[in-house]
Amino acid sequence: MTDNNVNTSGWAGWGVFAAVVLIVGGTIDAFHGLQALIGPDTAYFLGQEALFSIDVQGWGWWHLIAGALLILVGVFLLLGATWARVTAIVLVAINAIGQITLISVQPWLSLALLAVDILVIYALTVHGKEIDAKKA
């Protein structure tokens, strides 16, 4: 049953866009995680002050789990689960914060992904009732 008090606009279709972005991003994250788990255990980086190392295994597990969560939430978002919309907003907000911390390292990619994150959050929060009404 649809709610007659909710006017749907073109933004209702952006819920599908958000779900697809989550699924694609989750798949890429999961592959990066698998690459890190299969590859060498440590990576070395030369910073401005010193040489430092990162445990690649921990990074790999983080990306594998995050990727699986993004895929799962994206699929349930396509199915119309309200909890998936809320979870997607939280996951995308965490990603946006991560992109802000990476602006000095990869400015153009970080800004582009930050723009997509903001668009997804906007579509899922401001137009959430339209998305629910269209699925009903």
Per-residue pLDDT tens digits for 68-95: 999 999 999 988 888 999 999 999 999 8
CA angle centred on 16, ends 12 and 20, rounded to 5°: 155
Q: Which of 129, 27, 113 is nearest to 73 (CA)?
A: 27
- Tens digit of pLDDT for each residue in 26-63? 898 898 889 888 877 666 666 666 666 667 788 789 88
pLDDT at 91: 92
Instruction: Give the per-residue pLDDT at 75.
Output: 95
pLDDT, tens digit, for every residue of 91-120? 999 988 988 887 887 789 889 989 998 988
CA dist 27 and 64 (Å) reads: 9
